[in-house]
Amino acid sequence: MFVDIIHIEEAFKDYILNRLFPRFHLTLRECRVEVPLIGRKSCIRFLRTSSGDGYAIRAFLRSRLNEAKLLFSSQRFLEEKGLPVPHIVDLAEKYSSKGVSFLTEEYLPGESWETLERSPEAAGKLGGLLAQLHLLESDSWGAFGAKSANGKGFGDSQFGLVKNRLYRIGKFLKNDIPSSEFSEIRNWFRGFTKPLNSFITFQLIHNKINRGNVIFSQDKNSMFLLDFSTLQYGYRGKDIVQAERALLKNDDQLVDEFQKEYFRHFPDETKKMYDVFSPFYHAYYHLSKCAANIRRNFMMRSNKNDETDLLHRKFLSHWNALLSLVRKS
């Protein structure tokens, strides 16, 4: 069923006026609704009250109902386990006549990592936050809330992701990269498959650590993770490397403080194991960046501009870093 932006806007108004206002005993006079810069595409609205309270309201089309349910169940689960996450106050499934669902959570005022001053203290708080998440473990791997993956090893799944990224790169750059480099990288990653298949315990990982998904709340003096739509049981290395690369920019001092705080929550063997498998996830980070940049470059090629050149340079930077890491290991 086609759902246009007008229907979504009307559904937002109806949901706020006829469901949230009565629930929180609010009136239109004491509230204002804000549309963030990304809100028109991501279907997010912020409701702020004169008393200082705030709520983030997300709309989900009928086809994304399962995503809304996953966010609801995962954040409730993490909250029950004592992790600092935004409190969800409401989930309205298929609220509108065209099946638009709404999920409302408390709005946490604070600084995103993008604007937060990077410091050893902040790096330590980030390490402690990820450790809290990774202390939650399972004897099976896969998406949070899904049935256990059967018939396929964890290492096989990770190598499958590698092959997918290499395929996407090759699709756009058939003749620009020597086939020998593709083979070299593929064979290097394949060497980790058997060791990764031997894992019997898996950590709950965020799987999408970036500058927009970490905020620091001065009011609560705490750091929070946001957006748990990609939550899954896997290996801690994915989150750690994303944090070190995307947030800490691989700064030696910040990484040392981050790792010191993170690994103090685990037995000594945890750090030794991470040192063995971290090259895989550092290499995969570069591979993923290569695939993302070259795809965006290809999509913008029809409108040749400076950004396409920048994307291609970013691709080459990550590809060369990947090759260097593979040949060094």
Query: What pLDDT is recorded for position 40?
Result: 45
**Sequence-separated (6 or more) residues with CB below 8 Å from residue 233:** 137, 138, 140, 141, 142, 144, 202, 203, 204, 205
Q: Which amino acid is at 86?
A: P
131 Cα distance to chain centroid: 16
Instruction: Single out the residue of 248, 262, 244 nearest to residue 132, CA to CA.
Output: 262
308 pLDDT higher than 70: no
Mean pLDDT of 309-328: 90
Classify residue 172 by burial, with Cβ atoms within 10 Å: 0-12, 13-18, 19+. middle
Mean pLDDT (the chain) is 90
Instruction: Single out the residue of 234, 215, 237, 233 nearest to residue 224, CA to CA.
Output: 215
Residues 56 and 43: their CA atoms lie apart, in Å, by: 10
* pLDDT tens digits along 22-69: 999 999 899 999 887 654 445 899 999 998 889 999 999 999 999 999
Residue 173's beta-bridge partner residues? none
Q: Classify residue 117 by its DSSP letter.
A: P
Structure tokens, 154: 């964890």
* pLDDT tens digits along 66-124: 999 999 999 999 999 999 999 999 999 999 999 999 999 998 888 888 888 889 999 99
221 pLDDT higher than 80: no
The full set of domains in the chain, from first to last, is 5-107 (3.30.200.20), 114-328 (3.90.1200.10)
Selected residue with higher pLDDT from 191 and 173: 191
* pLDDT range class, residue 299, cuts 50, 70, 90: low
Residues 205 and 225: their CA atoms lie apart, in Å, by: 11
Give the CB-side neighbour count of residue 173, counting CA atoms within 13 A. Answer: 22
